[in-house]
Amino acid sequence: MCLAIPGKIIEFDKNKEHAIVDYGDGTKRKANVTLVDVKIGDYILVHAGFAIEVLNEKDALETLDLFREMLSQEEN
C-alpha cells in the first residue's frame, strides 16, 4: 500500500528543487518539488519524498485531521 501525506511548503532551497514541508505537530521534512509548480504557502501531497500534487487548503487540512484521528484511535 502506498501512502501520500499532505503538508504545507514553508521554504525552498536556493535552487527551488527542494522545499521544507510542514506536516503539522512540529514535523518538518525536505521534499523534492520538481514535479509540481508550487510556491511558499501551498499545500502539497508528498509520496516517497516527492511532491506529486498540489492540494487546496481545505482538502489538505481535512486529510491531516483524518490522519490524526486514525493515530489517536491506534493509541487507545
pLDDT in tens, 26-42: 899 999 999 999 999 99
Domain of 13: which CATH number? 2.30.30.140
Q: Which pLDDT tens digit goes with each residue over 39-58?
A: 999 999 999 999 999 999 99
Record the pTM.
Answer: 0.88
Domain total in the chain: 1
Q: Which pLDDT tens digit goes with each residue over 5-27?
A: 999 999 999 999 999 999 988 89
Which phi-psi region, left, alpha or beta, contains residue 61 (left: φ > 0; alpha: ψ -120 to 50)?
alpha
- Specify burial of residue 31 (Cβ count, 10 A radius: 0-12, 13-18, 19+): buried
Which structural domain, as residue segments, surrounds residue 26? Answer: 5-75
